[in-house]
């Protein structure tokens, strides 16, 4: 259980290492807040652009929360027409004239003198005032040129961002297709499969996952839901944060990976296997999981395929509910802590709690001894909110 002191802005960290990572993220976030005027729409949109270009990398969900905050605020400002560029002042034609022409120019000011406009000529001022006026005109012209240059640079950066975004999207799709192709490959990468046995008798890895396992020993299974984009490898490591920001190839990737809770054991197996994944706006990872809030959708996609690397498994959706990450001292049902039921009474109590929270009743029931699968992702309906789908193994 996490130390109650390991809490940063409402987020509870399970280990000292995770807590230190959270502190590093908070320092980055505090620095960005200090450098950015969040009352300035263009400043917020510009910050969002830089974050989408992955100029700032975070290690924990604190960073993901800040990313979501900036994104949502930027989207609001973009709807109002802001695009991250400086808004130039309103001026005249902006055409620069020679000094000789400027000396002959008329400085027009709108002055209400008994309802009439009065034109004031530059020559009406004394030489010192003329010099000040001309210097101010020069400053405005230089400022205009800087604004034009800034706008041009912003346009180049935006084009670069869109090119990078398209490249990244294509690369991620290519990686997903490659992994799907390797899933059933019979050509082993690196030869013989070797995996840790510990003190347990470990079954053979299924042939369809041997090649993938040889590429990354953190592979623990594969999750697939028909007619959805969810068709991904599932990872497991001792860290709760690593695969939040890394892909199967262990490269930094804001999409992260689907990963099994470190406390779960597929060999034991645990009563409840909990898989986490980001709710990406692009639909990647668990971006479409909240479609299960619709009973008709859930009915049409009631079966979930989750294979461990050792055996295949099919699950049927039981409960769909919204929850959140609670403080350690809050006395309530915390679905993310329900991994192993120590007794039938504990199992039944968890089932009752989930049934009460469920958005609808599926008619599927579970009994002590059944194996469960829980899919968990972020939900913006409340602070530290979570959207959860729970299914029972049927084969």
Instruction: Give yes or no for a contact between 388 and 376, defined as CB atoms under 8 angstroms apart.
Output: yes
For residue 89, the model assigns a pLDDT of 37
For residue 289, the model assigns a pLDDT of 95
Q: In terms of domains, do 234 and 370 share one?
A: yes
- Spell out the long-range contacts of 211-215 with Cβ–Cβ below 8 A and sequence spacing 24 or more: 211/182, 211/185, 211/186, 211/187, 212/179, 212/182, 212/183, 212/185, 212/248, 213/309, 214/188, 214/189, 214/190, 215/182, 215/189, 215/190, 215/248, 215/249
Q: CA angle, 361 as apex, 356 and 366 as ends, to 5°?
A: 80
For residue 77, the model assigns a pLDDT of 86
Q: In terms of domains, do 160 and 211 share one?
A: no
Q: In terms of domains, do 158 and 70 share one?
A: yes
Q: In terms of domains, do 160 and 267 share one?
A: no
Q: How far is CA 300 from CA 48, 195, 362, in A?
A: 37, 38, 12
| CA torsion through residues 280, 286, 290, 295, sign | positive
Report the C-alpha gap between 78 and 51 in whole angstroms.
16
Report the C-alpha gap between 12 and 7 in whole angstroms.
4
Report the C-alpha gap between 131 and 108 in whole angstroms.
17
| Domain span including residue 164 | 7-85+150-178
Global confidence as pTM:
0.59
For residue 164, the model assigns a pLDDT of 59
For residue 142, the model assigns a pLDDT of 85
For residue 1, being part of any structural domain is answered with no
For residue 342, being part of any structural domain is answered with yes
Phi-psi region of 250 (alpha: psi -120 to 50; beta: other; left: phi over 0): left
Q: How far is CA 146 from CA 40, 137, 159, 287, in A?
A: 20, 14, 20, 41
Q: How many domains is the chain built from?
A: 2
Q: In terms of domains, do 264 and 162 share one?
A: no
Q: In terms of domains, do 219 and 71 share one?
A: no
Query: Helix 127-183 vs helix 207-215: angle between axes, to the nearest 10 degrees?
Result: 140
For residue 92, being part of any structural domain is answered with no
For residue 168, being part of any structural domain is answered with yes
For residue 139, being part of any structural domain is answered with no
Provide the residue-wise pLDDT of the chain in tens; the chain has 395 residues.
445 567 888 888 778 888 888 899 899 899 899 988 989 998 888 888 888 887 888 888 888 888 889 988 988 888 887 766 644 433 444 444 444 444 454 444 344 434 444 555 666 666 766 677 777 778 888 888 888 888 888 888 777 765 655 555 555 555 665 676 667 665 444 444 445 445 567 889 999 999 999 999 999 999 999 988 999 999 999 988 999 999 999 999 989 999 999 999 999 999 999 999 999 888 889 999 999 999 999 999 999 999 999 999 999 999 999 999 999 999 999 999 999 999 999 999 999 999 999 999 999 999 999 999 999 999 988 889 999 999 999 99
For residue 138, being part of any structural domain is answered with no
What's the chain look like in SS3? CCCCCCEECCEECCCHHHHHHHHHHHHHHHHHHHHCCCCCHHHHHHHHHHHHCCCCCCCCHHHHHHHHHHHHHHHHHHHCCCCCCCCCCCCCCCCCCCHHHHHHCEEECCCCECCECCEEEHHHCCHHHHHHHHHHHHHHHHHHHHHHHHHHHHHHHHHHHHHHHHHHHHHHHHHHHHHHHHHCCCCCCCCCCCCCCCCCCCCCCCHHHHHHHHHCCCEEEEEECCCCCCEEEEECCCCCCHHHCECCCCCECCCCCEEECCCCCCCCCCCEEEEECCECCCCCECCCHHHHHCHHHHHHCCEEEEEECCCCCEEEEEEEEEEECCCCCCCCCCHHHCCCCCCHHHHHHHHHHHHHHCCCCCCCCCCCCCCEEEEEEEECCCCCEEEEEEEEECC
For residue 314, the model assigns a pLDDT of 97
Q: In terms of domains, do 328 and 358 share one?
A: yes
Q: In terms of domains, do 259 and 356 share one?
A: yes
Q: In terms of domains, do 73 and 171 share one?
A: yes
Q: In terms of domains, do 73 and 206 share one?
A: no
Q: In terms of domains, do 231 and 354 share one?
A: yes
For residue 381, being part of any structural domain is answered with yes
Chain centre distance of CA 92 = 44
For residue 275, being part of any structural domain is answered with yes
Q: What is the CATH number of the domain that holds 205?
A: 2.40.260.10
Q: In terms of domains, do 275 and 154 share one?
A: no
- Spell out the long-range contacts of 102-110 with Cβ–Cβ below 8 A and sequence spacing 24 or more: 102/134, 102/137, 103/130, 103/134, 107/133
């Amino acid at each position: 259980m996490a130390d109650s002191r390991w809490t940063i802005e409402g987020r509870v960290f399970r280990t000292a290492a995770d807590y230190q990572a959270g502190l590093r993220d908070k320092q980055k976030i505090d620095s960005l807040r200090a450098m950015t005027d969040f009352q300035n729409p263009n400043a917020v949109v510009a910050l969002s652009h830089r974050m989408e270009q992955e100029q700032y990398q975070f290690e924990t969900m604190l960073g993901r929360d800040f990313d979501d905050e900036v994104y949502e605020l930027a989207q609001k400002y973009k709807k109002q027409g802001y695009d991250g560029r400086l808004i130039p002042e309103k001026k005249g034609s902006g055409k620069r004239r020679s000094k000789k022409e400027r000396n002959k120019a008329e400085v027009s000011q709108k002055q209400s003198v008994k309802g009439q406009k009065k034109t004031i000529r530059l020559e009406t001022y004394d030489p010192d005032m003329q010099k000040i006026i001309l210097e101010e005109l020069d400053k405005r012209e230089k400022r205009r040129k800087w604004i034009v240059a800034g706008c041009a640079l912003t346009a180049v950066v935006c084009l670069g961002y869109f090119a990078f975004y398209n490249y990244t999207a294509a690369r991620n799709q290519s990686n997903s297709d490659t992994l799907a192709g390797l899933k059933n490959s019979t050509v082993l990468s690196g030869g013989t499969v070797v995996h840790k046995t510990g003190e347990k008798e470990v079954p053979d890895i299924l042939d369809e996952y041997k090649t993938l396992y040889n590429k990354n020993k953190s592979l623990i299974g594969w999750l697939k839901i028909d007619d959805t984009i969810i068709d991904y490898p599932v990872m497991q490591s001792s860290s709760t944060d690593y695969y939040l920001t890394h892909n199967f190839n262990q490269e930094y990737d804001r999409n992260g990976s689907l990963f099994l809770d470190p406390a779960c054991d597929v060999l034991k197996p645990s009563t409840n296997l909990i898989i986490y994944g980001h709710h990406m706006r692009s639909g990647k990872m668990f971006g479409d999981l909240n479609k299960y809030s619709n009973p008709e959708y859930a009915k049409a996609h009631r079966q979930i395929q989750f294979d461990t690397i050792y055996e295949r498994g099919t699950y049927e959706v039981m409960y769909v509910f919204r929850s959140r990450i609670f403080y350690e001292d809050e006395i309530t049902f915390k679905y993310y802590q329900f991994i192993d039921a120590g007794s039938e009474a504990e199992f039944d109590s968890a089932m009752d709690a989930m049934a009460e929270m469920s958005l609808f009743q599926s008619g599927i029931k579970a009994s002590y001894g059944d194996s469960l699968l829980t899919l968990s992702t972020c939900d913006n309906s409340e602070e530290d909110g979570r959207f959860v789908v729970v299914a029972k193994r049927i084969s």
